[in-house]
Amino acid sequence: MSVQSIPHLLYSNSVFSSNRDCVFVDFIGLSAKSRRRVRAASGVSAVSKFKRANFSPIKAVIDLERLGNASTQSENPERKAANLEDILSERGACGVGFIANLENKASNSIIKDALTALGCMEHRGGCGADNDSGDGSGVMSSIPWGLFNNWAETQGLAPFDKLHTGVGMVFLPRDAAQCETAKTAINNIFKQEGLEVIGWRPVPVDTAVVGYYARETMPNIQQVFARIINEENVDDIERELYICRKLIERVANSEAWGNELYFCSLSNQTIVYKGMLRSEVLGRFYYDLQNDLYETPFAIYHRRYSTNTSPRWPLAQPMRLLGHNGEINTIQVTIYITM
């Protein structure tokens, strides 16, 4: 397979590894002059593969200081290797990256490599005063239907219809009574919109790895499975699930438990596992991420460095559609994300 270089990467052939997995890690800064002022732009660096047992210093950092204007690039930019300690000093923003199989083949190795990569980004995130409650970490992947079908079998349920079923990863109220009230409200909205709730699954977790402050606010984490009843009347299940989520949020806003309800994801395609955790313990916290049945063709991973908002479980990333290593700094967006 021939690979075309990506102009702004300059060294894009490093992105592709021998087993046809695409690995993206970390970032470096580009220096670009614009008229009378110099502004910072973002670039990326890459390594061809993570090794779980023997992680060597990253050698794919490019020296772009001599580029001058961003629109004119040197044909042979000078490259210099960076020592691991140099990379560890770069902690001014979140750590974010992705791994994907170029042929869209799902495997368990993708999520394992993503967790390994995420663990290597601990230096990019922040922790609370207990030095254990992370600002946040998480992964997004395709839905591991094999894992969920195995659970369905243990519950006496039929295998899920992947084309017409949505999976919600939900943070629910800590109080047991309020949790049941919230679940009832969610069930009612789904029924109202023509979806059948197949079941609720408590997500298996290990609370021993959660920091003290994070444990104080840790939500009740469950998954909801909802199927379209009249399949011929629905041409876009993602749209239907989005409408359901917005209606649920509207109902929750008027309830005492409303600020404790949050959908990490509600989709027919993707799912998000996240929390106020250090990146190296995310996989230990969620037992699903340790399960060999968890297969995905891609994974986006994120370690949060909180700046203009205080750490909270819902504010860990990835979000429902993206993971980013900056701030979306408008008053309206900040308020919206916080709410």
Measured CA to CA, the distance from residue 224 to residue 243 in angstroms comes to 16
Going by the DSSP 8-state scheme, the letter that residue 75 receives in this structure is S
Q: Are 285 and 210 in contact (CB under 8 A)?
A: yes
Both structure tokens of 222: 């469950």
List Cα–Cα distances, 310 to 127, 160, 252, 315, 319, in angstroms: 11, 38, 22, 9, 16
Our answer to whether residue 94 is catalytic in this structure is yes
- What tokens does 244 get? 């359901």
For residue 294, give every residue at least 6 positions away whose Cβ sits within 8 Å of its Cβ, in sequence order, or none: 108, 111, 141, 144, 146, 147, 288
CA distance 306 to 99: 24
Q: How far is CA 33 from the centre of its chain?
A: 33
Peptide bond into 202 cis (omega under 30): no
Among the options 22, 94, 120, 179, which is catalytic? 94
**DSSP H stretches of helix in the chain:** 84-88, 108-119, 145-154, 176-192, 212-216, 237-252, 282-285, 331-338
CA–CA separation, 290 vs 205, rounded Å? 11
CA atoms within 13 A on the CB side of 318: 21
**Cβ 303 vs Cβ 279: under 8 Å:** yes
Residues annotated as catalytic are 94
